[in-house]
Homo-oligomer: A and B are copies of this chain.
Amino acid sequence: MTKDILPTVRTKLRRLPKRGAYDRELIYQILDEAFICHVGFVVDGQPYVIPTGYGRVGETLYLHGSAASRMLRNLAKGIDVCVTVILTDGLVLARSAFHHSMNYRSVVVLGQATVVEDKQEKLIALEALTNHIIPQRWAEVRAPNEQELKATLVLALSLVEVSAKVRTGPPVDDEEDYQLPVWAGVIPLRLAASPPVSDPRLRQEIEPPAHARNYAR
């Protein structure tokens, strides 16, 4: 069962509220289709924005990385964080420069991350992270050993204060501009995969698996 999320003062959209959405199913759909998030945090008053992968298990977003990562060590202190995800679905070409836009679906999560200490949860999070980016990959590869687990910091961020924003459809021009001799419409965009390139050191008899040959999001 999914339920709507109450907008807080901070996630409430100020402008163009018709583009705002607090529907949990939509938010999960966007988070599951994208695989890069941008993590915003503050150190000594300076904001930093770092792109990284993520995974989702239910109402929890997981981040991971080297235990030596400055970003993760800072987030582990429980400081305020903003995680933003966007899918760019298309360029919207209007008849006037002013009304050009993009079609997109984005999610913003606010909160504080916590360190995942429990080994079982850590493994579940790492599996989710791996399979989120490459479905079915986890079961095919060597699992992390004790040393690798220790070198990896996993953080959990609850999907509580979260909102989505979506734009779809054709351009919206000023009424008097529709007569202009200018093409207008949408150029759809998507992330596309090319055929996989085998590691030069790959054992010759090994063929790319389906999850590499048919990669698509």
Spell out A's residues near B (CB within 8 Å).
10, 14-15, 36, 38-42, 45-51, 53, 66, 68-70, 80-84, 86, 88, 91, 93-98, 100, 102, 104, 106, 108, 110, 126, 130, 133-134, 137-138, 140-144, 148, 152, 170-171, 177-203, 206-209, 212, 215
Q: List 13 A-B contacts (CB under 8 A).
A: A36-B86, A38-B84, A47-B47, A49-B82, A49-B83, A88-B191, A96-B142, A97-B126, A184-B198, A186-B196, A187-B194, A187-B215, A188-B195
Collect the chain B residues with CB atoms within 8 Å of residue A178's CB. 201, 203
Collect the chain B residues with CB atoms within 8 Å of residue A36's CB. 86, 88
Further contacts, 15 of them, CB under 8 A, given A96-B143, A185-B208, A189-B193: A15-B70, A40-B48, A50-B84, A53-B102, A95-B142, A97-B144, A98-B144, A98-B152, A178-B203, A181-B203, A187-B194, A187-B196, A187-B197, A187-B212, A187-B215
